[in-house]
Structure 1
Amino acid sequence: MTTAREREAIQHDFQTKMNEDELLNCMRCGFCLPACPTYIESGMQEKYSPRGRIALMKAVKDGLIEPDEEVERSLDLCLGCRACEPVCPSGVKYGELLEDARDIINQNKKHSLPVRMLRKGVLDGLFPHQNRMINVSSLLGMYQRSGLSKVARKIGFMELFPESMATMEKVLPSVPKRKEMKHRLRHFEPDIVKKATVAFFTGCLMDTMFLETNQSTITLLQKVGCEVVVPEGQLCCGALHGHSGEKEKAKQMAKQNIEAFEQVQADYIITNAGGCGAFLIGYDHLLKDEPEWADRAKSFVSKLKDISAILVDLDFHHQHLRLPDQIVTYQDSCHLRNVMRTFDEPRTLLKAIGGVTFKEMEGADRCCGSAGIYNIVEPDMSMQILDHKMEHVKETKAATIVTANPGCLLQMKLGIEREGLTGRIRAVHIVDLLLEALN
């Protein structure tokens, strides 16, 4: 609960820091309403819509209401999927407004001691340090390989956790050994005549828990004629910090990543995680007020490309691709679709695979409820969204659900487990499926 002094400080910063022009840009037309998952799932409550949240921000800025718990709750319940942006006729940059508002509230609010310790441990002590990410992930790998995971389930230890977290533990990928994560090549030659030099953004979770998917990404890039460089010194994109009201920390991480990639004279910077890509492509906005970094951030952003986009550009879909006959459907990564505006390319690649019948899922462009750590901090709304998503999955009769983001992948695996469909439906990252089809 915020104190009167905290509310006063929050209101002051809303008045001085929130973008007045962007708030006024919202015409209140309501085009965003049917695109917003929380508006729909909450029974169409206006305060849980993009239009409603912008109205609350504007009211706080104008001093019409206090930034109380109800305002904060409205902002917290937002998935940040940004599905409202492509449908907005005024082009309101809702994602930027949301992050600015969350940052102001977080910087002026004193969290409880347990929350402060958790935020400091995770946001300061873990994600900005890839070596620590490797160490923590390797412990998870030991837990899996030692058989402790089976024992924990058998004795009912996992029942001490919320149902969604207990189920998530079952669907986590097999984590590679520490040596595999720690010692890796940094340079890869193309398999055919060189067409481009690309710098690969490996990410934090992608380069630990999903290391195999990163390796698959590099292999596919080699197959289409890319020289691949993995810059040293890169780290987490900063999305978790930016979405959690830690903008200054996100800026520090952005600067380190820009410096790391400036060391490579690459034609493109490639990502394979929609959530990372969307935050990376916002570095120019994040650093727009810092003269030393603004142009460097623009240069960085200009080279960004999702893996599916470069594969289509370099005609990967014209190669001989084959899988056993099956129906495949695709779940969009919200940020890949709504921010990076990449949605046709994954579908082009999937439709090019022999033996695959591609079936579009109803609401494929709607968030699955993962949204970073949303499924942990807002499990009720997340599972409500996921349950409706799985209804649409079952309607396709697909054997394979394809995603382009680690959070989405885990969420769809979670949905499969919750529906009792394990063994009948699988969820897979698009690059792993493409490599499977190529081999």
Structure 2
Amino acid sequence: MSAIDEKLAIQAGFRERLDENELLNCMRCGFCLPSCPTYIASGYDEAQSPRGRIALMKAVRDGMIEWDADVDRSLSLCLGCRACEPVCPAGVSYGHLLEDARDIIQQNKRTSLPEQAVRRTIFQGLFPHQDRMRSAAGLLGFYQKSGLQTIVRKVGFMKLFPGHLASMETILPPVPSKRDMNNRPESLQPIGKKTARVGFFSGCLMDTLFLETNNSTLKLLQLAGCEIVIPKNQSCCGALHGHSGEKQGSIDLAKRNIQAFEDLAVDYIITNAGGCGAYLIDYNHLLSNEPLWAERARQFSDKIKDLSEILVELNFHQRTEFQLTPQIVTYQDSCHLKNVMDTAQAPRLLLSHISGITYREMKDAGSCCGSAGIYNIVEPAMSMKILDTKMKHTKASSADTVVTANPGCLLQMKLGIEREGMSERVRAVHIADLLLEAIQWDN
């Protein structure tokens, strides 16, 4: 494909697939600007704002400009945090426009053979297959437990990598054993009086690298009186695919997950990862143009609920004693949990019921931390700039414990703590782990 053919194909894709009404809904009012991390971090570059990106999409669609490296860069640099959506008076579905634009570009632009191989390995060969995810995690576990990690650090091998990657190696959680990853329950009974029957979306990374957090989540649900069903044939949520221009892959995964849960007769489907939850709740949009799946997707999405929401709804915080040793606790919102799932108060309400702690709200707690899936790997400069701002607010809170509700946010906050030399006195923890700790601390 020539460069001209590439540009024409992308323009045609924009014209055929981008919702013109949605593009026109943007009034260019600028209400989104103060909420956009890349607009602020770039020094108020209009091309790095939601309205600027929408203007670029429309200009390419209408043939006013050609798709080029600058347009590609603008769309690639977006975090996809969707903080612009709640503040938009016109209700523009920016996230859906961005996802479609990235998919059109990825499916039509020329890429090198190595990049194609990497994408196939990640998006087709790894994430859709939980057994392979467990094997990959097992290799990391061998690295951690065999002494190889100690040797690598001692000889200074990690110094050959960029600073943020070297730091990330230090904050990866201990990988559970292969046996623990393989021996996952398919159902669990409530502890005490039954209050609900729920399905649990275990996730791909959550059920490998963050297995202990999943275990904490399951225990909390049991204590809240939930009968839990955990289908073995569920898969990755597809968020990584959808955000990276691999929309067909996310559609395939969505169908697998809908099939896995739809006949279980559950009241809710619970997730403990904001990024996963936001994508699961969007399945009704993802499959809206497929007659055989649209209604099934809507019914699936209607049942999605975050862990914090179900605990509050079941009044778990009112009938459970939470207590921790004295410490200052703050909360860092997951962008997708807050902006897409509209869940911001429930986590704070749960934290406010823990005796012994002092809860202190972080400034701009709802702004992105810079993680955004694999953004901190592919766009390290912007990611670290955003993280630096987040760490200033963390320091100002004087928090001993930073609580999050998403694995990417958790790792990013751990990375920020490590980069700032605060790891001896500040920790980052998932809310499920903290709540269970608060129940069990005196045991």
Same fold (TM > 0.5): yes
Q: Which residue of 1 aligns with 2:127?
A: 127
Q: CA deviation at 1:2?
A: 7.8
* Distance in 1 separating the partners of 2:294 and 2:249: 17
Query: Does the CA-based 8 Å contact 1:2-1:69 persist in structure 2?
Result: no
Alignment of 1:43-192 (within 5 A): 43-192=43-192
Query: Does the CA-based 8 Å contact 1:331-1:361 persist in structure 2?
Result: yes
Q: Identity, % of aligned pairs? A: 64
Write out per-residue CA displacement over residues 326-356 of structure 1, whole angstroms, 9 at most, x where no aligned residue.
1100000000000000000000000100011
**Structure 2-normalised TM-score?**
0.98
Alignment of 1:287-436 (within 5 A): 287-318=287-318, 319-436=320-437
Q: CA deviation at 1:160?
A: 1.8
Letter in 1 for 2:376: N
* Distance in 1 separating the partners of 2:256 and 2:399: 42
Letter in 2 for 1:117: A
* Distance in 2 separating the partners of 1:290 and 1:73: 31
* Distance in 2 separating the partners of 1:147 and 1:274: 34
Letter in 1 for 2:326: D
Query: Does the CA-based 8 Å contact 1:2-1:68 persist in structure 2?
Result: no
* Distance in 1 separating the partners of 2:214 and 2:402: 19
* Distance in 2 separating the partners of 1:59 and 1:205: 38
* Distance in 1 separating the partners of 2:316 and 2:307: 11
* Distance in 2 separating the partners of 1:184 and 1:276: 20
Q: Which residue of 2 aligns with 1:259?
A: 259
* Distance in 1 separating the partners of 2:60 and 2:380: 28
**What SS class does the counterpart of residue 421 from structure 2 fall into?**
coil
Q: Say if 1:258 and 1:314 are closer, same or farther in 2 by CA, change over 3 A.
A: same
Stretch of structure 1 that moved more, 151-160 or 333-342: 151-160
Letter in 1 for 2:72: E
Q: Which residue of 2 aligns with 1:271?
A: 271
CA RMSD of the aligned region, Å?
Answer: 0.9
Write out per-residue CA displacement over residues 237-296 of structure 1, whole angstroms, 9 at most, x where no aligned residue.
000000011111110000000000013110000000000000001101000010000000
**What SS class does the counterpart of residue 292 from structure 2 fall into?**
helix
Q: Which residue of 1 aligns with 2:439?
A: 438
Query: Does the CA-based 8 Å contact 1:2-1:109 persist in structure 2?
Result: no
Q: CA deviation at 1:315?
A: 1.3
**What SS class does the counterpart of residue 34 from structure 2 fall into?**
helix
Write out per-residue CA displacement over residues 163-189 of structure 1, whole angstroms, 9 at most, x where no aligned residue.
111100100000001110011211100
* Distance in 1 separating the partners of 2:221 and 2:15: 48
Q: Which residue of 2 aligns with 1:220?
A: 220
* Distance in 2 separating the partners of 1:165 and 1:200: 32
Moved over 2 A (4+): none
Letter in 1 for 2:49: S
* Distance in 2 separating the partners of 1:232 and 1:170: 32
* Distance in 1 separating the partners of 2:230 and 2:133: 17
**What SS class does the counterpart of residue 324 from structure 2 fall into?**
strand
Q: CA deviation at 1:361?
A: 0.4
**What SS class does the counterpart of residue 15 from structure 2 fall into?**
helix
Query: Does the CA-based 8 Å contact 1:329-1:402 persist in structure 2?
Result: yes
Letter in 2 for 1:403: T
Letter in 1 for 2:375: Y
